[in-house]
Amino acid sequence: MAESLSGRSINKRKFFSMSRWALGIDLGGTAIKAAAVCEKRGILADRRFLTDTASGPAGIVAQLAAIIADLYRDASRTNEPDNFAGAGLGAPGAVDTANGVLSYPPNLPGWSIFPLRDELRNCLEQQQGLSIPVSIDNDANAAAFGEAVYGAGREFRDFLMVTLGTGVGGGIVLDRKLYRGAHGTAGELGFMILDFEGPSQHAGIRGTLESLIGKKAIVALARQMIDASPSGSSVGKLCNNDYTRLSPRHLEYAAHEGDEVSLAVWERVGSILGVGLANVTALMDIRKFVIGGGISAAGDLIFVPALKQLRNSMLPSMHESLELVPAFLGNKAGIYGAAALCFG
């Protein structure tokens, strides 16, 4: 920080915050979320763009560079450029953080193995005339790190963050640092197999957690349970009896209204999540879980059965200090964490 205390900075001190700041970008298959984040004060400004998936890696790199350049120029009007720590990017797929390489991102057609960090850095320099340090990591890791530094994980030294949404993802924090594994693919909780001979599948693998409680699986389970229920369910009227439009939100609403079938659906979803978390505790001795993602909005409908099943799935001697808490940063965990990569 010595540089920021020299000449120019001190003169501007009354206008500029002295805290470090960075840009955090969350690259998704549908949207790119971006923010300028102050290390101390959190998000200063954030934006959202539709991902230009059609133009492949080069197109997305150009789009990211334009977003970063724009946000950087805006934010550096009120934040000391000398305190700028860089741009962090969370991306779907396996990320080799040391070399900045992204492999096989799902939902980004046309990508295979791509040196995203260096390409983005080059593009920023050549197309935007900006020399900016870039860090990249997996999006689930970025979200977990965001919760670790700014959110529900602040009080935990070790925890796993679970993201419940279309997919089921995970990010692991050990000793307040991201645990990435040797190839950067650690934390793939959605691929945890809980029912190896079961009927459900995901990416051709049977009985994975995502195949059991990903968004599609929850809806399919609900339709099955509604069909099997002799007394029916009040969910029907929430989706105008068009069950192709059934969503977890409807099930959440109906459950809060006391609909037995919806309550049973969430009970089962939470319970299966609990089995998955028990495997994490058995293997890694992690006993703190931060639960985020759109589906986690169901809250205690999921959390209560999950914690119960988690306890029932392990020896009593390992029940000590088990805890399940809701994520705190919502869909901003990724941008927070991506920015925090630059403060590391």
Q: Is 167 in the site for its own copies (CB under 8 A)?
A: no
Measured distance CA(304)–CA(290) in Å, rounded: 14
C-alpha Rg value of the chain to the nearest Å: 22
Measured distance CA(63)–CA(57) in Å, rounded: 10
User: Residue 91: beta bridge partners?
Assistant: 138
Choose which of 33, 117, 250, 287 interacts with its own copies (CB under 8 A): 287
Measured distance CA(23)–CA(20) in Å, rounded: 11
Among the candidate windows 55-63, 144-152, 174-182, 291-299, which touches its own copies by CB under 8 A? 174-182
Choose which of 29, 109, 181, 344 interacts with its own copies (CB under 8 A): 181
User: Residues in the chain, how many?
Assistant: 344
Q: Is 155 in the site for its own copies (CB under 8 A)?
A: no
Measured distance CA(128)–CA(102) in Å, rounded: 22
In angstroms, give the least distance from the CB of 99 to its own copies: 15
Q: Is 186 in the site for its own copies (CB under 8 A)?
A: yes
CA 9 to chain centre: 36
The contact mask relative to its own copies for 60-99 (x = CB under 8 A, - = no) is ----------------------------------x-----
| Nearer Cβ to its own copies (195/260) | 195
Q: Is 144 in the site for its own copies (CB under 8 A)?
A: no
Q: Are 134 and 262 in contact (CB under 8 A)?
A: no
Q: Which residues 101-120 are close enough to bind its own copies by CB under 8 A?
A: 103-104
The DSSP 8-state label assigned to residue 111 in this structure reads: -
Q: Is 153 in the site for its own copies (CB under 8 A)?
A: no
Among the candidate windows 22-30, 233-241, 316-324, 327-335, which touches its own copies by CB under 8 A? 316-324
Tokens read off for 302 = 């999921």
| Nearer Cβ to its own copies (24/305) | 305
Which residue type occupies 27?
L
Q: Is 182 in the site for its own copies (CB under 8 A)?
A: yes
The DSSP 8-state label assigned to residue 148 in this structure reads: H
Choose which of 122, 128, 247, 313 interacts with its own copies (CB under 8 A): 313
Choose which of 41, 203, 227, 257 interacts with its own copies (CB under 8 A): 203
Q: Based on the number of CB atoms within 10 Å of its own CB, is 273 exposed (0-12), middle (13-18) or buried (19 or more)? A: buried
DSSP 3-state assignment of 258? coil
CA 203 to chain centre: 20
Q: Is 310 in the site for its own copies (CB under 8 A)?
A: no
Residues in contact with its own copies by the rule CB under 8 A = 94, 103-104, 157-158, 170, 172, 179-189, 191-198, 203, 205, 272, 275, 278-280, 282-287, 312-315, 317-318, 320-321
